[in-house]
Amino acid sequence: MARAEVVRPYRGVSAASRRDERRDKLLAAARRIWGEAGPAEITVRRVCAASGLTPRYFYEHFSTRDALVLAVAEQVHEQLFATLVAASQAEPGTLKRKLLRALTTYLDAIADDPSVYRILTSDVHSVAGLEELRVRAIDIVTDLVLRYSAEFLDAPADPDVRRREALFVVGGINQLVDAWLRDPRQPTAEVAALCTELALSVVRRSA
């Protein structure tokens, strides 16, 4: 009968914590490389060198370099979603104020971190799963728009119509943000204000 493997703490740190720490190092290294040079420069060898880990630990967490690239993109999207939601919830005012604060905070987060900018503007067809991630991100934001705008509508609208309108809002904002990312000279506050006004023009139609 085989003996169960015993994994003991090392210097007071559990094996699970050490694994999590190694994964965080790999993600951070890949994110820096992506931000500085693009996703094509993310290789197992380069990430291991940048993180100070061996390939053994790389494959402990990621089956391929594409899996790591996708994990970095997912991390960035999750952080931006969290920023968007937290900013909206922190604003107690009207729908307009909530949207404006959320979008301004979202755009500021992109502008303040060059790696985020590079990750969001990279070719989504370069790695399997990135296109699906982008589509999923739009669906998530659409659900957020539906959830938060419903509080401010006097009468319930047809759910299918509301979703199409929310998708239209998100798609339009996404196009404006993409255009800003390609030439980010316009202040984030101005972009956020424009996106807010266009979004409200659709919401008011349903009110």
Is residue 132, in this structure, part of any structural domain at all? yes
Is residue 108, in this structure, part of any structural domain at all? yes
Q: What is the pLDDT of residue 137?
A: 86
Mean pLDDT across the chain: 86
Is residue 96, in this structure, part of any structural domain at all? yes
Is residue 2, in this structure, part of any structural domain at all? no
Identify the domain containing residue 120 by its residue range. Answer: 70-206
User: DSSP letters along 61-104, please?
Assistant: H-SSHHHHHHHHHHHHHHHHHHHHHHHHHH--S-HHHHHHHHHH
In order of 32, 110, 122, the CA distances from 125 in angstroms are 20, 21, 9
Q: Which two tokens stand for residue 149?
A: 């705008």
**At 184, which CATH number?**
1.10.357
What does the pLDDT look like over 61-86, one tens digit per residue? 999 999 999 999 999 999 988 998 89
Is residue 194, in this structure, part of any structural domain at all? yes
> At 177, is the pLDDT very low, low, confident or very high (cuts 50, 70, 90)?
confident
Is residue 184, in this structure, part of any structural domain at all? yes
What does the pLDDT look like over 153-169, one tens digit per residue? 655 567 888 888 888 88
**At 46, which CATH number?**
1.10.10.60
Task: Say yes or no: 43 and 84 in one domain.
Answer: no
Task: Say yes or no: 74 and 58 in one domain.
Answer: no
Give 100: exposed, middle or buried? Use CB within 10 Å, 0-12, 13-18, 19+.
buried
Is residue 133, in this structure, part of any structural domain at all? yes
Is residue 10, in this structure, part of any structural domain at all? no
Domain boundary among 6, 35, 62: 62
Spatial separation of the C-alpha atoms in residues 164 and 162, rounded to whole Å: 6
Task: Say yes or no: 48 and 121 in one domain.
Answer: no
| Domain count across the chain | 2
Spatial separation of the C-alpha atoms in residues 119 and 25, rounded to whole Å: 18
